[in-house]
Chains A and B, each alone.
Chain A
Amino acid sequence: MPPLSSPSRREALRLLGSGLTLALGACAKPSEEIVPYVRAPEELLPGVPLRYATTLPLSGWGRGVQAIAVDGRPIKIEGNPLHPASRGATDVFAEAAILDLYDPDRSRTVTERVNGIASWEMFVRAWRAPLAKVRGQGGRGLHLLTGRVTSPTLARQIAGLRAALPEAVWHVHEPVDEASAARGANLAFGRPLRALPHLDRAEAILCVGADPLGPGPDQIRFAAAFAERRRDPARFGRLYVAEAAPTLTGIKADHRRALHPRDWAGLLVQVANGLGAGLPAPGLGAEALRFAEAAAADLKAHPGRALVLAGPALPPELHALAHWINGRLRAPVDLIAPPDGADAPPSDLAGLCAALDAGTVEALVILDANPVLTAPADLEIGRRLERARFSVHAGLHGDETAGATHWHLPLTHALESWSDLRATDGTASLVQPLVRPLYGGRSVHEVLALLGGEEAASGHDLVRQTWRAAWRAASGEGGDFETRWRRCLHDGIVAGTAAFPAAAPEPRLPDLPAGPAAGFAVEIRPDPCLWDGRLANTAWLQECPKPVSKQVWGNALALSRGEAARRGVSAGDVVRLSAGGRAVEVTVAIESGVAEGVGALTLGYGRERAGAIGDGIGANAYPLVSAASPWLATGVEMVPAGRRAEVLRTQNDVRIEGETRKLFRQIDLAELARAEPKGIGADQPSLLAPWQGDADGHAWGMVIDTAACIGCNACVVACQSENNVPVVGPEEIARGRMMHWLRVDLYDSGTPEAPRAGFQPVPCMHCEHAPCEPVCPVAASVHDGEGLNLQVYNRCVGTRFCQANCPYKVRRFNFFGYADGQEYAHLGAEPVRAQRNPNVTVRARGVMEKCTYCVQRIATERQAAERDGRPMGAVSTACQSACPTRAIRFGDLNRADDGVAALRRDPRHYALLEELNTRPRTTYLADLRAPNPDLAEDRS
């Protein structure tokens, strides 16, 4: 018999001995190096964070942010208070942009399909022939495909290109577009105007398939306006939502009706008829009719303060009808010329397909778009791209389209390049780099200049030229360009660029189309975490729980209980959806509030060339997208695929009779006057000594307004970014492990058919009588004089007693070195480490961690105050500064002038599990709704 395995006993002992000797010799401290500058940059203090105003794109629209850099290393994104699309807050996409910057899977070099790695010089040589050819024919045969272009510089460059080569064709394809809304405005006003609803002035709101509070470029603006108005009970108003499956807006609605998309038209017609449209009465069901009548009556009762919003899945005619209703209601909607409009409107993807079929495409340039993934599947763009004689793709990643073109050029990230962008209201702002390109690459402006034949154009100069010309045109020769440029860079916004409301004619009443075909329909939506799929390789977003379903690492087809039972499928079954000859296999998830006869599926998953994080996660919904109806697949056939798969969720549904009402206090507006604030249970007897702070100290506390929380998850990702919270990966999530210090729970006190739900963010409660503290055998869980419940990582030996004893379940254990040696996928790579916040310890394997109330931010402010000999100023936690609706307030309970102390006396105030006598420092304000008394028995 051969020996069991090498090494032999003798060798093993020898290795053990030498190992021991080496280990003993290694007891000395490691030798560290200090590398100072050769020439120090002015005003840079080592280790002190600096903020730069810049702009991040989402589907081409700009959102102003402040990027924080430490020692030249960008580490965090925060909102820019001056920018109208940010108002000082962020969303998940902006927060995650910082991880996207460091993504090791970003493309690092020019590649050529046959020969692989190439260089910019080789591309320039290869480009000469096709460029000369199309130049010879006045540009005929040159096709440029971009996403939505709002950048004034890019628009100027494209206009210049089109002027020089008049036969060249520019196509625009944006996966999450607003084509239906634009066509609807065209029908109503004869012009493609863009509607800017003012949720701060609208009190009665009806959303039909629309999700203004949901993810998107306007989420922060809408959510902030909505929540700000609702703070005033007199202007609380009422929100009606009719939708196929729950959205954030649906969850926040006072009345929500799950409605099949075929009934959306009927609902709008019913409302329009109530305002004198005189359209033929639709065949609505009795309950939907009552809902429509109640909503119509409410809208009518609020002239000038009522608003109807139509969703992207609605056909243009219904958008036009919504405009007509808004016209009648004198709704607070501004109509502006689309900020992404060009003088000569660009062609679309269908035009490109026709040219490819005709074989007239000499050179195809795809700039920062991924049509092979995101184009409507019936266009079969991947196959058609083969017919271009020369094709080049420029993008951040070597994605699906990069694999289908002849050349791929690496682009720079928005945090590495000079550019400019416009927000949805037309406000322009500059994009400035925080760091040199990490992986080589050039900006879109530089690439476009290169393609036009100018080789050495710098993005900085191109952007400055745009604004120099724009300001000169606006103010003549006068005006100091440098001063103005610096001001714009500093503020992160070019003042006075917001679009003026256009004078629009009275909207016309459109002819209504036939409703969508019968049969099972699937509503397709951009994903609340991955958007259209371009962020699929960002681990924070993959592990960010979806607001309503709490699913992570994948998507699922949401079905109602009844629909699933009727079709004989259950949660976890994989089904095959087929429409138009294409099929998708996706896991079924049963969800409350989904209409019968419809399913909901999000985009962005099932990527093949996203990278180490995003590849093969979830199901790709794009095959169901058709050019005619991108957001609603009708006549879908669903058959079980005979497999089962797990839907990973971070909140598992547990129902205990009566608990929901206790844990999630909900008050009707009518009862607000009679509501009493609930304390933290400090009047109950306790064996523990009452908490006593330091005489000159602070008492940190947090109050979270659940009525304002829209569940957008910005706080969750902001916390992850600020506090070096690691990603654990799908396998660990399946074991019930996660690391988020802050979670957003969904409580539902309604029924599966009519949910009445709300969001509750849960960080550490920092209990004054913390149950985690007495059970720790090594005093790793201790209190400080300002009331923070501290976790001392170096003392922690990993007994997990504290986790077991925490009634709020906010403690997280490093079962593995999630952040320290055993990272998921490529998250341990050197570039990803550069994202870490140097002010927060990276936790090792085997230690407990949890929310610290951003103790590093408190300490930074305390130290600055001590150094300057002044009282401490306000401290803002990461979750608080990210929150678009200011639902999270943090402050000093010892200071009467601090808002938090006052909020504790609010009639809606309550504490979680106060009967346990934990005396939490984090407390809540109850959710507030204003149900319509006419719909009392039908309350949802």
Chain B
Amino acid sequence: MVQIFRPGADSVARVVLASMAVVPVLAVGLAYTLWRSPYATAQNVTREQPVPFSHEHHVGGLGIDCRYCHTSVETAAFAGIPPTETCMSCHSQIWTNAPMLAPVRTSLAEERPLVWRRVHTLPAYVYFNHSVHGAKGVGCTTCHGPIQTMKLVYQAAPLTMGWCLDCHRDPAPHLRPHEAVFDVGWQAPADQERVGRRLAEERHIRSPERLSECSICHR
């Protein structure tokens, strides 16, 4: 009698059976990893800007406060991007002829706004509010990373919903005293766990269940 299957057929069948079980799992795992990877979240991607504004120089070097430029960070959902005027309040005195600043001078002279490329993009259905986070003691660098070292700003955190929820479910490790919110050099003290819990209580920060409800961020 002629054999229907070749000798290797058994192995092939085993491999096929095994991969039927394994491949979907791997595929989902790969998709999930890709989804969370900096490639998809645009984490650590530096974007080219019309003027290579350096936070390292202005914040790290000169020590300008965040609120000097991002004026509405304490009062509105949006932190605010400074108008050209703000740049020129200093640069009409110093570096007045720097070629790097030509677009800023043109902007003011021609009344045409500078067009920056957005670095921190949240989906349209996420309603993040800077003022509340600041008021509750979440510092700028908690989400924006070591801004004082960035020559060009990049997105330091993944900004995924899971990352947001990590803190909403357990805010204590990230809470600072009010005076340290805008302190870019702030380091968590050794007893942060205790301090954070005390701050959470003092500031009536809601329970993890409430803070992870959909309506907190979505409308």
Q: Which residues of A contact B (CB under 8 A)?
A: 27-40, 45-48, 694, 696-697, 782, 784-786, 788, 790, 792-794, 839-842, 852, 855-856, 858-859, 863, 866-869
Contacts and interface: CB of A to CB of B under 8 A. Distances in A.
Given A33-B115, A46-B76, A47-B78, A40 B83 contact: yes
A782 B214 contact: yes
A407 B116 CA distance: 45
Nearest to B203: A869
A866 B135 contact: yes
10 contacts: A34-B115, A37-B113, A40-B83, A46-B72, A46-B78, A48-B76, A782-B214, A786-B215, A859-B216, A866-B135
A32 B118 contact: yes
B114 A36 contact: yes
Contacts of B215: 784, 786, 788, 790, 855, 858-859
Contact of A37 (B83, B118, B206): B83
Contacts of A40: 83, 85-86
B195 to A, nearest CB: 19
A868 B85 CA distance: 29
A839 B215 CA distance: 13
Contact of A38 (B85, B213, B216): B85
Contacts of B77: 47-48, 863
Nearest to B72: A45
Contacts of A782: 214
Nearest to B85: A39
A785 B209 CA distance: 8
A36 B50 CA distance: 13
B209 A38 contact: no
B95 to A, nearest CB: 19
Contact of A31 (B118, B203, B206): B118
B34 to A, nearest CB: 8
Given A31-B117, A784-B215, A869 B135 contact: yes
A855 B219 contact: yes
Nearest to A723: B219
- Secondary structure at the B interface, as helix, strand, loop or mixed, is loop
A361 B108 CA distance: 54
A-B pairs, 7 with minimum CB distance:
A32-B118, A37-B83, A36-B81, A40-B83, A784-B213, A46-B78, A45-B76
A28 B35 CA distance: 11
Contact of A866 (B39, B75, B85, B132): B132
B210 interface: yes
B206 A34 contact: no
Interface of B: 39-40, 42, 47, 72, 74-78, 80-86, 107-108, 111-118, 121, 124-125, 127, 129, 131-132, 135-136, 203-204, 206-207, 209-210, 213-216, 218-219
Given A32-B117, A696-B206, A792 B219 contact: no
A697 B127 contact: no
Contacts of B124: 841-842
B120 to A, nearest CB: 10
B113 A793 contact: no
Contacts of A37: 83-85, 113
Given A36-B114, A37-B84, 11 more contacts: A28-B40, A34-B115, A34-B116, A36-B82, A38-B108, A38-B112, A46-B78, A694-B206, A785-B210, A855-B219, A867-B75
Given A785-B209, A841-B125, A863-B131, A38 B118 contact: no
**Among A30, A36, A37, A39: residue with most chain B CB under 10 A:** A36
Contacts of B107: 38
Contacts of B72: 45-46, 48
Nearest to A841: B125
The residue in A29, A38, A785, A863 that gathers the most chain B C-beta atoms within 10 A of its C-beta is A38
A793 B116 contact: no
Contacts of A29: 40, 42, 121
A562 B121 CA distance: 65
Given A36-B113, A697-B210, A839 B42 contact: no
Most chain A CB neighbours (cut-off 10 Å) among B115, B203, B206: B206
Contact of B219 (A39, A47, A786, A852): A852
B152 to A, nearest CB: 15
Contacts of B85: 37-40
A33 B127 contact: no
B125 A38 contact: no
B62 to A, nearest CB: 20
Contacts of B86: 40
Contacts of B218: 790, 792-794, 841
B55 to A, nearest CB: 15
A365 B28 CA distance: 72
A325 to B, nearest CB: 54
Contacts of A786: 215
Contacts of A869: 135, 203
A38 B121 contact: no
Contacts of A35: 113-116
A12 to B, nearest CB: 26
Given A31-B118, A694-B206, A36 B219 contact: no
A553 to B, nearest CB: 30
B132 to A, nearest CB: 5
Nearest to A854: B219
Contacts of B111: 38-39
A27 B216 CA distance: 28
Contacts of B136: 866
A855 B215 CA distance: 7
Contacts of B206: 694, 696
